[in-house]
Amino acid sequence: MSAAPAAPTDLRRYLIALLSLTLVQVIATMGFNQASVLAPAAAPELGVAAADVAYYVSIVYLAAMISTVGGGTLTRRLGPIRFIQAGLTVAALGSFVFATGGVAMAALSAFIVGLGSGPLTIASSHILARVSPPRLANVTFSLKQSGVPVGFAICGAVLPTLALDFGWRWAAASVGVLSIATAIAVQPLRALYDDERSGGKGTRLPTLSEIFEPLQLAWRDPILRPMCFIGMLFSATQAIVVNFTVVYAVDGLQMSYVLAGALLSAATIAGAFGRVFWGVLADLLRRPSAVLAGIGVLVALAATAMAFSTPAWPTSAVYVVCVVLGGTAVGWNGVFIAESASRAPPGRAAEFTGATQLFVFFGALLSPLLFRAVLALTNVYEAGYLLLAAGVATASFFLARAAVR
C-alpha cells in the first residue's frame, strides 16, 4: 500500500520542522533515559540494585504503549504541535516526581514519563510525512530520529557529573525544566503545522474502531508485517544498549561511573551518525527492508562481541564494540519509521506509525525484564547479550527473505 504523490514541498516549513522536531526528540529522550543513567547514583539511596532499573524502564515502555494507542487520532484532532506540548509537559511532571525520591515515587515517575513521551514520535511523523520530499523520506526521518542517540549521549555525558556535583535529584529535576522550556519554545510552530487539526467532533478520545483499524491495515501489508517483528527485536536490543551500558560497564567491566557514562555517550553518538548513514543508504538503494536486515546482522555480531568482553580488555577495544553496537542497534529507527509512514494512506502517517510503534514499544518493554531475569539466574551479563544476538539474527533472516520476495 503506497501513499499518493506528495504535494510540492515548502522548503522553509520542511527545514523548520526537521530542526525543531529533532530538538524535541533530544529532550524527550533525555526524560525517557534519565533513570538508566542516574541508577548507579540513585540506587543506594533508594535501597535497590542498579540493575533494577530494568523495572523502571519496563514501566516507562508499558505507559508508552498505552499512550500510543489512539495517538494518531488524537494527533489529528488536537494538532501535532499541541499534542507534542502536552506530551512534554506530562514527561516533565514525571521527572519532577522522580526527583522527589523513593521507590514508589520512582515507579509512578516511570509511568508518567512513558505516558508523556510515548506518542511524540507519532505526532512528529505526522508533520514530517506532510512536508518531506519523497525522495528524502528515509534520511529525513533518520535525521529527526538522530535526536534519540543525541539525547542518550547528553544524558551519559552530563547527568553523571550533575549527580556527583549536585545530587541525582537535582539532575532529574533539570531534565524536567528542559522539557517545560521546550514545550513553551515550540508554541509558535502551531501556526505552521496545526492547520489541519480536525477539532473536537464528539469525544476527543479515539473509538475502538479508530484504534484497531490502522493495526489491521498495517498487519495486512506484506512489508510492514515482518517489519513489525524486526522492529520488536531491534527495540529490545536498543533498550538493553541504552539502559544497561552504564550499569554493565560499572558492575561487569569495573569501569568508573564517569567513564561508563562516556562509554554510553560514544555508543549513542555512533547511533546518531548511524541513523543518518542508514537513512541515506536506504534512499539510495530504495530497499529499506533489505537495509534493516543488514543492520540486524551487524547488531548480532556486535552483541556477541559484547558478551565476550571482560575487565581485562583494553578500554579502546570496549569502545570499538560499543560504537559498532550503537551505530546499528541505536541507528535503525529512522528507516523503520520512514517506511511505516510511506506505506500509510494519505494523511494517516501518524496512525500507521503508531501501529508499528506498538510492536517497537513491546520489545523494549519485555527486554529489560528478560535481561534482568537472565542476570539473576546466571549472575553474568554475557548470557543476556548472547540471547539478544540470537534473536536479532533470526529476525533478520526472515526479514531478508521477505525483502527478496
Q: What is the CATH number of domain 11-187+210-404?
A: 1.20.1250.20
Q: In sequence order, which residues have a C-beta less than 8 Å from that of residue 328 and are 6 or more positions away?
A: 274, 295, 298, 299, 302
CA pseudo-torsion sign 99, 104, 110, 113: negative
Q: Look at residue 210 in the predicted model and tell me its pLDDT.
A: 63
Residue spans of the domains in the chain: they are 11-187+210-404
CA pseudo-torsion sign 221, 79, 32, 323: positive
Q: Specify whether the CB–CB gap between 362 and 21 falls below 8 A.
A: no
Q: What is the pLDDT of residues 309-361, one digit of tens each?
A: 888 898 889 999 999 999 998 888 888 888 777 776 666 666 677 777 778 88
Q: In sequence order, which residues have a C-beta less than 8 Å from that of residue 309 and are 6 or more positions away?
A: 253, 317, 318, 321
Q: Specify whether the CB–CB gap between 64 and 117 falls below 8 A.
A: yes
The CA–CA distances, whole Å, from 98 to 93, 143, 162, 170, 405 equal 9, 30, 15, 10, 48
What is the C-alpha to C-alpha distance for residues 237 and 171, in angstroms, rounded to an integer? 26
Q: What is the pLDDT of residues 251-308, one digit of tens each?
A: 888 888 788 888 888 888 888 888 889 988 988 888 888 898 899 999 999 999 998 9
